[in-house]
């Protein structure tokens, strides 16, 4: 039998993946959680029918959301990950020797449990536990309200701006992020497709650049996501990711990120840089 999983990417565009096997289906308090094994992408996490991550291309997203900010900051000791329930972001964060602690606040325990069981390559750090990692199940928005001058780096590894992730794209949330960061702190958020989410990207960039002295967008190629090109937006209080000091050589192996790409990923095609004007 041929099974297909379909994500409606826009009103007029869908992407379908042929599925070998459905491994997990659950309905949490927040969303429908599915793990399926697809022919093209391998095992995939799908939340409310939106493709979140896959074994095939997860390295791009997780390396780019973690290593760009962590190599930008001169001493990223205290790190917070909001969302990231598949565990891929914290897997990359703990590889940095400077990191002393990483807190992760994911709203949906079902995403964490399904990822631990069916996506061990991605969830390994979260599943096996790590001395640097403190995993909390809770709302990242509420967590931010209570913190001040505390983190060096914050990664907002969230789902789309609908459902539980909606408030993670608000100006009020960015104000809380600013407050929670130390004076030289910085944050990065996944900010969707520069082709298909232009009004959202414009609004996010405006809000972040109103608050942070340095606001920059960078891109990465992620075939699972709409348009195959994905954006990340950084707000930084002091350090500029394009001129910051970088290590002379990479201290560990990566599959997508490298030190030349650290600079070049901020060089945007004209249609994308026009979104930031």
Tell me which residues touch ligand SAM (CB under 6 A): 45, 52-53, 61, 82-86, 105-108, 111, 139-141, 157-159, 164-165, 168, 190
- Beta-sheet strand order (sheet of 229-236): 133-137, 101-106, 78-83, 151-157, 181-190, 229-236, 214-221
Dihedrals phi, psi of 118, to nearest 5 degrees? -110, -10
- Furthest-apart CA pair in the chain: how many Å? 57
34 or 107: CB nearest ligand SAM: 107
Nearer to ligand SAM, 110 or 214 (CB): 110
Which of 111, 217 has the CB closer to ligand SAM? 111
Residue 205 vs 239, nearer CB to ligand SAM: 205
H/E stretch holding 226 reads: none
28 by Cβ neighbours in 10 Å (0-12 / 13-18 / 19+) ranks as: middle
Min dist CB 101 to ligand SAM, Å, is 18
Q: What minimum distance in Å lies between the beta carbon of 219 and ligand SAM?
A: 14
Q: How far is the CB of 211 from ligand SAM (least distance, A)?
A: 19
The whole-angstrom separation of Cα 178 and Cα 137 is: 22
- Residue by residue, DSSP assigns 6-30 as EEEEETTEEEEEEEEEEEEEEE-SS
CB of 128 to ligand SAM, least distance (A): 19
Report which DSSP code applies to 273. H
Q: Least distance (Å) from ligand SAM to the CB of residue 240?
A: 25
Query: What residues contact residue 136 under an 8 Å CB cut-off, 6+ apart?
Result: 103, 104, 105, 106, 143
Cβ burial, residue 27 (10 Å; 0-12/13-18/19+): exposed
Q: Which of 157, 160, 210, 240 is catalytic?
A: 157
Beta carbon nearer to ligand SAM, 53 or 72: 53
* Whole-number Cα distances in Å, 136 to 83, 96, 173: 10, 21, 19
Closer by beta carbon to ligand SAM, 185 or else 226: 226
What SS3 class is residue 88? Answer: helix
Task: Report, in Å, the least distance between residue 33 CB and ligand SAM.
Answer: 8
Task: Please indicate whether residue 207 is annotated as part of the active site.
Answer: no
Q: Name the closest residue to ligand SAM (Cβ).
A: 83
Kindly list the catalytic residues. 157
């Amino acid at each position: 039998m041929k099974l297909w999983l379909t994500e409606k990417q826009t009103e007029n565009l869908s992407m379908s993946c042929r599925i070998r096997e459905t491994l997990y289906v659950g309905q949490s308090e927040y969303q429908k959680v599915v793990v399926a094994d697809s022919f093209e992408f391998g095992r995939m996490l799908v939340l409310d029918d939106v493709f979140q991550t896959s074994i095939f291309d997860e390295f791009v997203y997780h390396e780019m959301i973690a290593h760009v900010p962590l190599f930008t900051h001169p001493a990223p000791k205290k790190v917070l990950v909001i969302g990231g329930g598949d565990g891929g972001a914290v897997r990359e964060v703990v590889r940095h020797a400077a990191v002393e602690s990483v807190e992760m606040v994911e709203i949906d325990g079902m995403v964490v449990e399904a990822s631990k069981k069916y996506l061990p390559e991605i969830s390994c750090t979260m599943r096996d536990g790590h001395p640097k990692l403190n995993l909390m199940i809770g709302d990242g928005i509420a967590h931010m309200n209570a913190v001040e001058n505390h983190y060096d780096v914050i990664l907002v590894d969230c789902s789309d701006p609908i459902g539980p992730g909606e408030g993670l794209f608000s100006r009020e949330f960015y104000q809380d992020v600013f407050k929670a960061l130390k004076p030289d702190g910085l944050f990065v958020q996944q900010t969707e497709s520069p082709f298909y989410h232009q009004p959202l990207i414009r609004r996010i960039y405006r809000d972040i650049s109103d608050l942070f002295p340095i606001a920059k967008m960078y891109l990465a190629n992620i075939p699972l996501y709409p348009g195959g090109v994905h954006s990340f937006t950084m707000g930084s209080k002091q350090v500029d990711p394009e001129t910051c000091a970088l290590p002379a050589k990479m201290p560990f192996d990566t599959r997508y990120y490298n030190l030349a790409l650290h600079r070049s990923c901020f060089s945007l095609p004209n249609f994308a840089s026009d979104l930031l004007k």
